[in-house]
Amino acid sequence: MYKILLCWRYLRTRFLAVVCIVSVMLGVATLVVVNSVMSGFSTKLKDRLHGLLSDVVVETPNYNGFPLTDEEMMRMIRQSPAGEHIEAMTPTIEVVAMANFEMAYRNDQDPGYSPIADRQKVTRPIRLVGVDPKGRAAIGGFAEFLTDPKRREQPSFDLSPVSRAMFERQNPLPPNFLLPVPEGWPANVPPPEETPAGTREPKGAIVGFAIASYRDTNTKTGKIEDMYVLQPGDTIDILTVGAGKREIQPVFSPFVVAGYIKTEMAEYDSNYVFVPLDYLQQIRGTPGRSTHIQIKLKDYAQSKFVVAELKKIFRDTYTYQIFTWEEKQGALLAAIDIERGILNLLLFMIIGVAGFSILAIFSMIVVEKTRDIGILKSLGASNRGVMMIFLGYGLLLGVVGSGLGTLLGLLITDNINVIEAWLSMITGKEIFDRKVYYFDEIPTDVRPWNVIWLNIGAISIAASFSVIPALRAALLKPVQALRFE
């Protein structure tokens, strides 16, 4: 009982104990905040990657697509043992392409600025993806990222009335435009009337949000805003590769911006353009054939079984490549885990510094309390009892410091966006640059087991660094301790 009383008395009366507690507290708080933010980014990234890629992907490196048609492939997959684990499937085409369009850079300070007149031609590489909107929405990772709420409910490439009006305004037909006279038209029948502009059916495209916009500071409000350079109704010309037996055949078609897709993943938002699957198959000369089959499973735990069964069906490993979403993004996911592990190791050195401060302070206390230790031993205290006093003291410092550090870390994590906004206002520089990240807020994810292990590690370090001073105190002999005092 006397051990607990002495530990509590030292904790309440010693100023140096506060130094040890603050050292452990700051170390634990830093680790809690950094782990929560890193886990937040990691979780958000994994959720995005999983949603965008589907559970299992069957793909081919051949730009001509699979040898089999989409219907033949999906029928084979449905009839296989893997079919009972599949919830939805859809074919897609993903090819490299070049996009050519006119961009209108917004200029708030120019009163003569016109979004139609002040434009310039831009050519850039993109990833062109042909999808069936309803089928891709059933897989996930498409409809929920569309910026238009109505299009989320009914995903399609159809132009809205506003988009169509913008397209017609930018692409008016000549006043004397007439339908071509069909061959064999009777001479006594008047030629066709002028073609109404509304009869044209442009093909819509869903454009990556970062292709159609950029982030900049609004000169009027001083806030970071999305500045659009491609509006719904604008025309975008796309050049891609078509099917050819011996060589790549370039194919070309204009599309009209129907809407935007915003995944908050820079790789997708700044490169991907989605167009109707059947039309892309038509212009590429591969009707009914695709380059990818996206598969959504009823239970992702069965993914390894499904992949193994599909590999039995499609034995040609060059023509048919089969991956889970984790295998597809294995290098990126591994890099994230390695980065987080190394960061945790480096930050744990902060608690190590707190441990060395405990070692130094406890060594000073042992020297200072030599006479008291001698008195305790002369009254019957054992070596083990004296040692337990200092070990208990170190353990108590670790528990109190870790507990306060956890509370401080959770408080900072819960209000990290408020703190970031306050620091940005004080320093005049944005801490979390919205031009770099398309997240509206700093993502956080507090994982209870991570917090528990951090506390265990901090308490263990505090206790272990008090072992040497405790041994030194325990080995003091009562007579020598009192004699030197």
Handedness of CA 96, 100, 101, 103 (dihedral sign): positive
pLDDT of 112 over the 60 cut: no
Virtual CA dihedral for 309, 313, 318, 323, nearest 10 degrees? -30
Per-residue pLDDT, 108 = 47
- Residue-wise pLDDT tens digits, 339-377: 777 877 777 777 777 777 777 777 777 766 666 666 666
Specify the pLDDT at position 93.
92
Q: Which of 309, 291, 294 is nearest to 87 (CA)?
A: 294
Check pLDDT > 90 for residue 425: no
Tell me the HSE value of 319 on the side-chain side, using a 13 A CA sphere. Answer: 12
Q: In the chain, where are the structural domains located?
A: 2-47+332-484, 61-177+199-319
The 10s digit of each residue's pLDDT in 159-171 is 888 888 788 777 7
* DSSP state letter for 416: H
Which residue did the predictor score with more confidence, 96 or 426? 96
CB–CB of 89/294 below 8 Å?
Answer: yes
> Is 266:287 a contact under the CB 8 Å cutoff?
no
Q: Quick one: pLDDT at residue 186?
A: 52
Cβ atoms of 54 and 305 closer than 8 Å: no
How far apart (Å, rounded) are the C-alpha atoms in residues 240 and 248?
10
Q: What is the pLDDT of residue 197?
A: 42
User: Reduced to 3 states, what is the DSSP secondary structure of residue 292?
Assistant: strand
- What pLDDT is attached to residue 143? 86
